[in-house]
């Protein structure tokens, strides 16, 4: 590939990758409760979102725990390639400078994902200027006591270790009894 063409390709790729996000028009902050918290787009239950809407919300974990489980329950938005037109997104951190964890649009099925490493997550919603709109999205945020996988793994491991130790001790006792019985039979 000629070098000029290569640089044009590189610049176009970068421009496409780093499309700047519009500034938040509707910004709010909330602390997630210790239980399950449900969130929606602002107009989810009253007609849906409008064209050219930007909504942002920063969620802070209670007790500054750095893990969240996000369960997306329903999504009703314009579908577009790469969710370029109308979309919802979750970032790990207190604004869109954090890592993008998930971006979604259209009418996707239920799904869930973890966000780990920061006591804040940031929700960003954007719609373009056309009239293809919908209700938006509804999701739950759960802050577990500890990461589910670690809890499950440690409880499983503990039961295996305890079970294994008990079985090993029983085998040793049975073996000793067998040797003792043989000794009594032979030496009597
Ligand atoms: Ca749209």
Q: Is residue 186 one of the residues assigned to a domain?
A: yes
% of the chain at pLDDT higher than 90: 54
* Residues having C-beta closer than 5 Å to ion ligand 1: 78, 85-86, 127-128, 130, 132
Q: How far is CA 12 from CA 45, 64, 95, in A?
A: 40, 40, 26
Q: Is residue 119 located within the same domain as residue 71?
A: yes
177-181 LR contacts (CB < 8 Å, sep 24+): none
Q: Is residue 173 one of the residues assigned to a domain?
A: yes
Q: Is residue 51 located within the same domain as residue 111?
A: yes
pLDDT single digits (tens) 136-145: 999 999 998 7
Q: Is residue 58 located within the same domain as residue 36?
A: yes
Q: What is the mean pLDDT of the segment spanning 119-148?
A: 92
Give the distance (Å) from ligand 1 centre to CA of residue 135.
11
Q: Is residue 173 located within the same domain as residue 95?
A: no
Q: Which residue has the higher pLDDT, 92 or 33?
A: 92
Q: Mean pLDDT score of the chain, rounded to an integer?
A: 80
Give the distance (Å) from ligand 1 centre to CA of residue 126.
9
Out of 18-22, 41-45, 113-117, 162-166, which region has the weakest mean confidence (pLDDT)?
A: 162-166
Q: What is the mean pLDDT of the segment spanning 69-92?
A: 97
In this predicted structure, what is the pLDDT of residue 110?
Answer: 93
Q: Is residue 138 located within the same domain as residue 64?
A: yes
Q: Is residue 138 located within the same domain as residue 181?
A: no
pLDDT single digits (tens) 32-58: 987 788 999 999 999 999 999 999 999
Give the distance (Å) from ligand 1 centre to CA of residue 44.
15
Q: What is the 3-state secondary structure (H, E, C) of 115-164?
A: EECCCEEEEEEECCCCCCCCCEEEEEEECCCCCHHHHHHHHHHHHHHHHH
143, 61 in Cβ contact below 8 A? yes
Q: Is residue 6 one of the residues assigned to a domain?
A: no
Number of helices (H), then strands (E), in the chain = 2, 9
Closest of 102, 82, 80 to residue 91, by C-alpha:
102
Give the distance (Å) from ligand 1 centre to CA of residue 132.
4
The burial of 91, by beta-carbon neighbours within 10 Å (0-12 exposed, 13-18 middle, 19 or more buried), is given as buried
The whole-angstrom separation of Cα 71 and Cα 110 is 7
In this predicted structure, what is the pLDDT of residue 38?
Answer: 93
In this predicted structure, what is the pLDDT of residue 180?
Answer: 74
Q: Is residue 80 located within the same domain as residue 36?
A: yes
Give the distance (Å) from ligand 1 centre to CA of residue 108.
16
Range of the domain at 186: 157-188
Give the distance (Å) from ligand 1 centre to CA of residue 52.
8
In this predicted structure, what is the pLDDT of residue 25?
Answer: 83
DSSP track, 38-53: EEE-TTTTTT---TT-
Out of 3-12, 15-24, 67-76, 151-160, which region has the weakest mean confidence (pLDDT)?
A: 151-160
In this predicted structure, what is the pLDDT of residue 184?
Answer: 74
Give the distance (Å) from ligand 1 centre to CA of residue 11.
27
Contact partners, residue 139, CB within 8 Å, separation at least 6: 38, 39, 40, 70, 71, 72, 73
Give the distance (Å) from ligand 1 centre to CA of residue 86.
5
Q: Is residue 48 located within the same domain as residue 109?
A: yes
Q: How far is CA 183 from CA 8, 35, 153, 172, in A?
A: 89, 64, 45, 17
Give the distance (Å) from ligand 1 centre to CA of residue 112.
24
Q: Is residue 138 located within the same domain as residue 45?
A: yes
Give the distance (Å) from ligand 1 centre to CA of residue 90.
19
Q: Residues for the chain: how many in total? A: 188
Give the distance (Å) from ligand 1 centre to CA of residue 92.
25
pLDDT single digits (tens) 167-181: 545 566 767 767 775
The whole-angstrom separation of Cα 75 and Cα 78 is 10
State yes or no: pLDDT of 17 exceeds 50: no
């Amino acid at each position: 590939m000629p070098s000029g063409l290569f640089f044009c390709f590189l610049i176009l790729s970068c421009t496409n990758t780093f499309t700047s996000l519009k500034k938040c028009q509707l910004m709010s902050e909330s602390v997630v409760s210790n239980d399950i918290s449900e969130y929606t787009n602002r107009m989810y239950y009253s007609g849906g979102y409008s064209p050219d809407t930007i909504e942002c919300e920063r969620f802070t974990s209670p007790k500054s725990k750095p893990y969240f489980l996000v369960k997306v329950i329903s999504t009703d938005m314009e579908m577009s390639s790469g969710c370029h037109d109308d979309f919802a997104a979750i970032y790990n951190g207190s604004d869109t400078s954090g890592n993008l964890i998930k971006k979604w649009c259209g009418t996707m099925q239920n799904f869930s994902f973890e966000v780990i490493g920061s006591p804040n997550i940031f929700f960003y919603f954007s719609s373009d200027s056309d009239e293809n709109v919908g209700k938006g999205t509804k999701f739950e945020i759960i802050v577990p006591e500890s990461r589910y996988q670690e809890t499950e793994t440690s409880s499983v491991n503990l039961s295996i270790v305890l079970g294994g130790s008990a079985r090993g001790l029983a085998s040793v006792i049975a073996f000793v009894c067998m040797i003792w019985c043989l000794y009594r039979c032979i030496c009597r």
